[in-house]
Structure 1
Amino acid sequence: MSRLFNINSEIDPLKSVLLKRPGREVENLIPSTMEDLLFDDIPYLPIIQEEHDAFAEALKDNGSEVVYLEELVAEALDAHQGHQTLVDQMISESGIYIKDVKDALSDYLLSMDTKDMVDTLMAGIRTDKLDIQSRSLAWLTDRQDQDLFLMQPMPNLYYTRDIASTLGKGMSINKMTYEARKRESLFMETIARYHPDFKGDQLPLWRDRNSETTIEGGDILVLSEDVLAIGVSQRTSGRAIEELAHSLFDKQDKFRKILAIEIPHVRAMMHLDTVFTMVDKDAFTIHPGIQDLDEKMSIYMLEPSKVEGQIKVTHHTDLTDVLKDVLNMPEINLIPCGGGDPIAAPREQWNDGSNTLAIKPGVVITYNRNYVSNELLRKNGIKVIEIPSSELSRGRGGPRCMSMPLLREAD
């Protein structure tokens, strides 16, 4: 049966959401590869899994269906017998070009049952798992360099927000910025291509992973049925936002305004949702560090132009005024991360104090470690559901980062 897709808000009741439970890919992090794989520390797998399970339970307890990326990929492959296609593409995108090695890897992966194959692709494949007898000088040189992995692990996969975005009744499958994450969206492409609940006319694709420019889901916020906010960030380019705007304006008639919000291009603020999220119809969390001393910032509003093929662009500097205008609200409440305190604000923003996941208007899931921000949210009338976060937070992402909503429905 075809699945329903519809995201017209950040805050409507969350009915269905895609997660990825941390697995062996997290254990394949080592100190020498952490930086390349975009981690600042190594999570402890048993505890990070317990914490992630608590997150999933909090979602279920509040009426959300939870589906898992790893399970959907396996179901998609079994439905269409797409194993060889995925393996070939994953080997290619892992930079493996020597025939002997490609053949050995392919045989190794295809000898597994589907679930094990998917888990292994995600976890990475150590060099010592296969005894490859290659005559290639390049392969022998690589072996002398003692590379630990034939295929690198993908420990960032539990941040499902970034690989794809449900926008209205369609989806953008995103091209990721850094090499460590580029292969991740291939799993979402496999689901969209083969899974019986996803493929077909009911899920138009506004953008695919083969685009030249990069955009990641953590930068995309659906403010209303006609307004998106997208961060111009370390990982999402202005050109990508323009390309998505052209696609949306041409292919659908709901989203007619896109706010391109510039944020500092630094790791601590890698995506818009690490510094700015919606928690109620007129309330947002914000990290004060994205505004200047006069609370100004650079915001571009993109709208369809009367000239065919062009986009109307206007520049703004007051976030509150822009939000009041596009959301038709008399007032906007910006709730500062860490209360705006010069110590608490950057500390809690580092631990994703602004990365809230709204599961209905005025109800959010947050990390328990951000107690200053959580108490301030409560004082502003927001119900806060806290989840444990000692290990989840090591990956530099919060509840919103760890979830890709598929369906929200207004009450």
Structure 2
Amino acid sequence: MEGKDKSSVLNVTSEIGKLKTVLLHRPGAEVENLTPELLERLLFDDIPYLKVAREEHDFFADTLRNNGVEVLYLEKLAAEALENKEVKTRFISQFIDEATVESEDLKAALTNYFYDFSNQDMVDKMMAGVRKEELAKYQRNSLYDQVNDFYPFLCDPMPNLYFTRDPFATIGNGITLNHMRTETRNRETIFAKYIFENHPRFKDANVPLWFNRNETTSLEGGDELILSKEVLAIGISQRTDSASIEKVCKKLFNMNSDFKTVLAFHIPTSRAFMHLDTVFTMVDYDKFTIHPEIEGPLTVYEITRDDSKPNGLNVKKQSIILEDILEKHLGRKVTLIRCGGGDRVHAAREQWSDGSNTLAIAPGEVVVYSRNHVTNKLLESYGIKLYVIPSSELSRGRGGPRCMSMPLYRENL
């Protein structure tokens, strides 16, 4: 592809460099397997209407393509990564284990069930979830099967998959393959694991792992923001542990990455502040859209390499306003654009529908949800070019354009 370095399959050294390749997941049948009783378990606040959600997502994908972005789909890459029969067998076994299927008879029945599908149909079915009636011939004889007979699914649906930002994150030429906070979402990372280990596009690229899914502490991609080629920001949040950030720092500093500083932002633990990128995204060299409550003073930990320390890290705690910490590390004056214009009512409403969660496709050019009209008008007044996408159904999952995308390749600034 024009403008890309053929020697590397991954390259993300900023939040705003021209986007060349992105990973998406088109919402599938998993969304239609949401029920009111399962919303809390599956981390949703509402049930999107799949037909319209797909139309909105297709508009999003076409917006990216029309601006020169190569769009890849998680479900397609996952299916293509399973061409080797041994890999497919291992994948099915691991998937069933991580779906917490305890009955050995049921494991065998599910294994046979999945093998009857083509690779693509199998991946789609795994993502959608397996209802009990789909294994109608299976005899529930074990104690486990009979005690759990009330539950409608043999394998839970995975409706959060269209938020591809979280299961892994591209940092430089490597990734964090994340261990996510909840069992519901941690299963999502299995697809990325097999893609990077087995897909022809990635398997021989020796992609560095800055974090691995077998860790016991949690890390999610929505908390990882790349401020510059040398500075990474990670949120200590509802979904990301401080211990995970230390693990990432050690890998980055010891594996010869170009990153010199990691800023750990301690943000409030709440649904509204779920990830760092729900309250704070970069839209231009010197401009950020933010939730007003993130301005500070914040507790920020500045982490650098220090081989004289027992753990090899120097951690400096600061109480500082957001503007000052950004200006210090970017070396320029910055402008903070408040979600909802700082108005208490507008900010609360548009924060709920991810007004601070934008996806930059180039410096000063961002994708936004149509429903956040107050914030969108404000962004335009600051000279930001907007690509507005419909969002009535996609937004019900509580994630914006950044949440729905995982950049794999950006041009360097």
TM-score by length of 2: 0.96
In structure 2, C-alpha distance between the alignment counterparts of 1:262 and 1:137, rounded to whole Å:
45
Superposition pairs of residues 78-227 of structure 1, within 5 angstroms: 78-79=83-84, 81-130=86-135, 131-143=137-149, 146-227=150-231
Q: Does 1:320 align with 2:326?
A: no
Runs of 4+ displaced beyond 3 Å:
none
- State the partner residue of 1:247: 251
Equivalent AA in structure 2 for residue 6 of structure 1: N
What do the CA deviations read for 1:209-244 (whole angstroms, capped 9, x no partner)? 001110000000011111001111100011111111
SS at match of 1:252: coil
Does the aligned pair in 1 maintain the 2:355–2:369 contact within 8 Å? yes
Please report how far the alpha carbon of residue 133 of structure 1 lies from its aligned counterpart in structure 2 after TM superposition: 1.4
- State the partner residue of 2:348: 346
SS at match of 1:376: helix
SS at match of 1:343: helix
Please report how far the alpha carbon of residue 201 of structure 1 lies from its aligned counterpart in structure 2 after TM superposition: 4.1
What do the CA deviations read for 1:46-99 (whole angstroms, capped 9, x no partner)? 000000000000101111100000000000001565221111111111111211
- State the partner residue of 1:75: 80
- State the partner residue of 2:359: 357
Superposition pairs of residues 234-273 of structure 1, within 5 angstroms: 234-273=238-277
- State the partner residue of 2:336: 334
- State the partner residue of 1:374: 376
- State the partner residue of 1:228: 232
TM-score by length of 1: 0.96
Does the aligned pair in 2 maintain the 1:2–1:196 contact within 8 Å? no
Equivalent AA in structure 1 for residue 102 of structure 2: Y
Equivalent AA in structure 2 for residue 296 of structure 1: P
Does the aligned pair in 2 maintain the 1:2–1:197 contact within 8 Å? no
In structure 1, C-alpha distance between the alignment counterparts of 2:412 and 2:190, rounded to whole Å:
31
In structure 1, C-alpha distance between the alignment counterparts of 2:244 and 2:330, rounded to whole Å:
24
Does the aligned pair in 1 maintain the 2:178–2:220 contact within 8 Å? yes
SS at match of 1:298: strand
In structure 2, C-alpha distance between the alignment counterparts of 1:303 and 1:174, rounded to whole Å:
22
SS at match of 1:77: coil
Equivalent AA in structure 1 for residue 294 of structure 2: I
In structure 2, C-alpha distance between the alignment counterparts of 1:282 and 1:3, rounded to whole Å:
28
SS at match of 1:228: strand
Please report how far the alpha carbon of residue 186 of structure 1 lies from its aligned counterpart in structure 2 after TM superposition: 0.3
Please report how far the alpha carbon of residue 37 of structure 1 lies from its aligned counterpart in structure 2 after TM superposition: 0.4
Does the aligned pair in 2 maintain the 1:3–1:198 contact within 8 Å? no
For structure 2, the 5+ residue unaligned runs are 1-5
* C-alpha spacing 1:5/1:36, structure 2 compared with 1 (3 Å): same
Please report how far the alpha carbon of residue 2 of structure 1 lies from its aligned counterpart in structure 2 after TM superposition: 7.5
Does the aligned pair in 2 maintain the 1:15–1:63 contact within 8 Å? yes
In structure 1, C-alpha distance between the alignment counterparts of 2:120 and 2:383, rounded to whole Å:
44
Count residues in correspondence.
Answer: 405
In structure 1, C-alpha distance between the alignment counterparts of 2:128 and 2:118, rounded to whole Å:
15
In structure 2, C-alpha distance between the alignment counterparts of 1:163 and 1:61, rounded to whole Å:
26
- State the partner residue of 2:3: none
In structure 1, C-alpha distance between the alignment counterparts of 2:281 and 2:124, rounded to whole Å:
32
What do the CA deviations read for 1:2-60 (whole angstroms, capped 9, x no partner)? 86210000000000000000000000000000111010110001000000000000101
Please report how far the alpha carbon of residue 202 of structure 1 lies from its aligned counterpart in structure 2 after TM superposition: 3.7
Equivalent AA in structure 1 for residue 299 of structure 2: S
Does the aligned pair in 2 maintain the 1:79–1:196 contact within 8 Å? no
Q: Does 1:5 align with 2:10?
A: yes
Does the aligned pair in 1 maintain the 2:13–2:412 contact within 8 Å? no
Please report how far the alpha carbon of residue 135 of structure 1 lies from its aligned counterpart in structure 2 after TM superposition: 2.9
Please report how far the alpha carbon of residue 252 of structure 1 lies from its aligned counterpart in structure 2 after TM superposition: 2.0
Does the aligned pair in 2 maintain the 1:79–1:195 contact within 8 Å? no
Does the aligned pair in 2 maintain the 1:12–1:359 contact within 8 Å? yes
Does the aligned pair in 2 maintain the 1:216–1:235 contact within 8 Å? yes
In structure 2, C-alpha distance between the alignment counterparts of 1:15 and 1:250, rounded to whole Å:
28
Does the aligned pair in 2 maintain the 1:34–1:40 contact within 8 Å? yes
In structure 2, C-alpha distance between the alignment counterparts of 1:279 and 1:323, rounded to whole Å:
13
Please report how far the alpha carbon of residue 269 of structure 1 lies from its aligned counterpart in structure 2 after TM superposition: 1.3
Equivalent AA in structure 2 for residue 349 of structure 1: Q
Does the aligned pair in 1 maintain the 2:302–2:316 contact within 8 Å? yes
